[in-house]
Every structure is written in structure tokens, then in C-alpha cells.
Chains A and B, each alone.
Chain A
Amino acid sequence: MGETSLFAALGAVIRRDLLLAMRRKSDVLTTLFFFIIVVSLFPLGIGPEMAMLRQIAPGVLWVAALLATMLSLNRLFAADHADGTLEQMALSAVPLGVLVTGKVIAHWLLSGLPLALLAPVLGLQFDLATGSLGVLVVSLLIGTPVLSLIGAVGAALTLGVRGGGVLVSLLVLPLYVPVLIFGAGAVEADLTGLGATAHLSLLAAFLALAAFFGPWATTVALRIALE
């Protein structure tokens, strides 16, 4: 199997998942609106003082992004598992890890990327400065792929399991903690004038680790689920 055909397979999986999502736009949009609604609820619960909102903005936006990503995890493998596509993928000549990577990339393009692009608009509601908005977008752009990669492991482990939806949150949310700390920490560091480089570098290190181990662990978990 040549290198080009691996990339062709990767591209095909991404294209297919994006096409499927475009045919059923509501799935993608629901996640996005969930993100918007959760973020908008916080000022209502806490009060409209701008100083306070500025302070909690990074944490609120990041927690909402975490929850939104988590909610969209079940569409990663569930539909393909139900109609047998996943078994065909596991049987195909292309390594399952490559196909899994493609699916995770597609998942990020449909959940993490829109969240990152939407976040500055919501950040404005929290009176974040322009520079901090930039850091927020960058931190989300680096951090959300990690969420998709780790989430894929959880989604694969709970495939076809009783109460999978709630269970996946129990498995995945504790593992999201480092990303949350350094993602929200980057924006906070920028707000307090410390500079966000250290936090962003650590986030990028998490991404490198997750990109290496994530698809591998997901593949193992999928094979267990398909046994």
C-alpha cells in the first residue's frame, strides 16, 4: 500500500463524513447552538457586571466548548456502527488507524473549528479585549483537536453500550481537565498580562501527544467493540 493511497483513503473518509454532515445539517447546528445557549446562560445566572464577566469568560467559554464537543461525540461512530459501515472499514485493506484519524479530523472540522470561530463573538458579550479574543481563538484551535482525539477513544469504548451517552461524559471529562486548565489559562494569562505563550506551548504538546496515541487507542477500542 503506497503512501498516496493512504492519504487518498484519509481524504475520502473526511470528505464522506463532511458530506454526510452536510446532508443532515441539524446535527452540527444543534451542537453549535448548545454552545451559544450554555455560554449565554452564565451572565443570566451570575449577573451582568462586566468586570466579573470578563474574569469568568475564559473558563465559561472553555467549559461550554468541552460540553459541546462531548455531546457531539456519539455521532462519531454510532451511525456507522449501526449500519455496519464500521465493520467494513475494519475489514478494508487500509489500516483502521488511518480511517479513524480521518473521522476524527472530520469531527473536529464539524465541532471544534466552528466553536473556535464562534467563540470571539461570544467573547464580545463578555467584554473581552481584542487581543484576548485572538488568544481565545488560538487556544481553541489548538485545544479542540485534543478534545476530539481523546473523545474518540471514549466514543469507541462506549460503542453500543448501555447508557453510552452519559457514560462517555464520565470517561472523557476527567481526561479533558488538562486541556481545560491550559486552554482557559492561556486566555487568563493574556488578560493579566503574563503572556499566553507557555500555556499555548503546553496545549500544543498535548495535541502532539494526543495525535500520536489517540487514534491508536481508538483503533484498539473499536476492534474490541467490533469483536
Chain B
Amino acid sequence: MGNNGGFENRFGMNTRLINWFGYASPATFYPLAGKMIPWFWALAALFGIAGLYVGFFVAPTDAQQGEGYRIIFIHVPASWMSMFIYLVMAFWAALGLGFNTRLSGMMATSLAPTGALMAFLSLWTGALWGKPMWGAWWVWDARLTSELILFFLYIGFIALQSAIDDPRRADKAGAVLALVGVVNIPIIYFSVKWWNTLHQGASVSLTRSPSMAQTMLWGMLLMALAFWMYAIAVSLTRVRAIILERERHAGWVEELEEVAT
């Protein structure tokens, strides 16, 4: 057979459906993640540059809030991502509990610090925005408060996982906590309706046309995409580190170029 047979084999593999569960193994996912990371970094940079350009140079000055409003190009994507990452984390956690796949737990673990960072960034930029707009760094408004609770939930998740020495138990316990905490996400979204407070209503909604200029919306969406790609790139990098740490005794890790040298 020789080379010819090998070629045919490879050709046959290409026509077959991708075996998704194959990538549930850390050994196969590790190189795949390595290949994907530069692409996500590139996309993050691309969207980030485009978003910042639109945000700073194209979007008009707001009639009421002046130039200060431009912080929403960081603030809103960070808030979106902080909520979205928690959902993704809970998704991986549920998958890990259901299918007993090790990689899912690692994925959830690697997402948590990025989610916490986003929640913190959202609170921080919110305070910077609130001072000129409301005249206060912090108000006990529903959305601020629920973002703070979300931040606490991330911290609790990270604290629980780092307190448990056995990684398998840490994964599963964290998964249960993430799923219990996911109840908090709808509360964040509906809190605006539940408590009628200082914070302005949501300015982007799916049911009615947005109350902001088109270019502002574009800038925000581009920045949200940039944050999204960044979050993927960073958590893939982190999951690779976790894989190396946990699988350090496995044969395939020792054969890796970066480990061998």
C-alpha cells in the first residue's frame, strides 16, 4: 500500500462526519485549541480596532450625556459577556455532570476567571460612568446590584474549586454550584422590571427598535464581538494550561514539543 494507501485513508477521513466526541479528550483537544487560539486573538484584535474606531471617531456625541457616554463601548460588552460567560460556564458544567467528560469541567474552570474579570470591569466602568451622569460612584440600583451578585457568584465558584484538592470532585462540585447560580441570570435580566429604580431602562431590546443612534449600536456590537473573541482566546489558553497541569503524568504530554524541550 505505502503512500498511496495512506492518501486514500486520509481522503476517506475527510468525507466522514467530524467525530465531536473525539475532541472531548484532552489529548486531542490540546493541539486543536493550540491551533485555534491565534485565530481568536486575531479576530479579537480586528473587532476591537474596528469597534474602538467606530466608538471614538464615527459615533456622534450624545445629546444629553456628552462624550462621557463613550464608556458604554467597554461597559455594555463587559456586562453582556459577564452574563453570557456564566451561561456558557453552566452549560459546560451541565455537560460535564451529564456525560462525565473531564474536559467540560476544565472548560468551566477556565471560563470562571474571565467571567469574574468581565463582571469586575462592568462594575468598574459603571462606577466611572455613574459619577458624571448620576453624581455618585455607586447607587443601589437593581442592575448594579445584580451584577455585583454575579461577581460574588464567580468568586464563590473559584473559591470552591480552589478549596477542593481532588480535581474531579472540584469539577463536579463547581458544576452543581454553577447550575444553582444560573438561577441568578434571569433575575439579573428581569430585575429592571422587578425593582423600579434610578437606572435607566435597557436601551437595547429585541422587541422594539433601539433608542440609540445606529453607529453607536454598531460600535457596541463590534466591541461585544471583540470581547467575545478575547474571552474564547483567553479561556482556551487557560484550558491548555489546566490540561497540562492535570495530565502531566500522561504519556502524550511528555511527547509534546513544548514539554520535552
CB neighbours (8 Å) of B181 from chain A are 174-175
B184 within 8 A of A: yes
Given A158-B163, A227-B169: A170 in contact with B156 (beta carbons within 8 A) = yes
The reply to whether B156 and A225 contact each other, CB–CB distance below 8 Å, is: no
**Number of residue pairs across A and B with beta carbons under 8 Å?**
63
Q: Which of B14-22, B25-33, B147-155 lies on the face that meets chain A?
A: B147-155
CB neighbours (8 Å) of A178 from chain B are 187
The reply to whether B176 and A171 contact each other, CB–CB distance below 8 Å, is: no
Q: Chain A's interface: helix, strand, loop or mixed, by majority?
A: helix
The reply to whether B184 and A161 contact each other, CB–CB distance below 8 Å, is: no
In the complex the two chains form, what is the Cα distance from A157 to B145 in whole Å? 25
Query: What number of B residues sit within 8 Å (CB to CB) of A?
Result: 25
In the complex the two chains form, what is the Cα distance from A223 to B155 in whole Å? 24
B37 within 8 A of A: no
Interface bin, chain A: 20 to 34
The reply to whether B163 and A224 contact each other, CB–CB distance below 8 Å, is: no
Q: Chain B's interface: helix, strand, loop or mixed, by majority?
A: helix
Chain B: residues with CB nearer than 8 A to chain A?
A: 97, 145, 149, 152-153, 155-156, 159-160, 163-165, 168-169, 172-173, 176-177, 179-181, 183-184, 187, 195
Chain A: residues with CB nearer than 8 A to chain B?
A: 150, 153, 157-158, 161-164, 167, 170-171, 173-175, 177-178, 181, 209, 213, 217, 220-221, 224-225, 227
Given A170-B159, A225-B169: A157 in contact with B177 (beta carbons within 8 A) = yes
The reply to whether B159 and A224 contact each other, CB–CB distance below 8 Å, is: no
> In this complex, what residue of A is CB-closest to B195?
A181
Q: B145, B165, B168, B173: which has the most chain A beta carbons within 10 Å?
A: B173
Nearest chain B CB to A166's CB is how many angstroms away? 9
The reply to whether A162 and B163 contact each other, CB–CB distance below 8 Å, is: yes
5 pairs, A vs B, C-beta closer than 8 Å: A153-B177, A161-B160, A178-B187, A217-B180, A225-B169
The reply to whether B176 and A224 contact each other, CB–CB distance below 8 Å, is: yes
> In this complex, what residue of A is CB-closest to B154?
A174
> In this complex, what residue of B is CB-closest to A169?
B156
Nearest chain B CB to A224's CB is how many angstroms away? 4
The reply to whether A157 and B173 contact each other, CB–CB distance below 8 Å, is: yes
Nearest chain B CB to A127's CB is how many angstroms away? 25
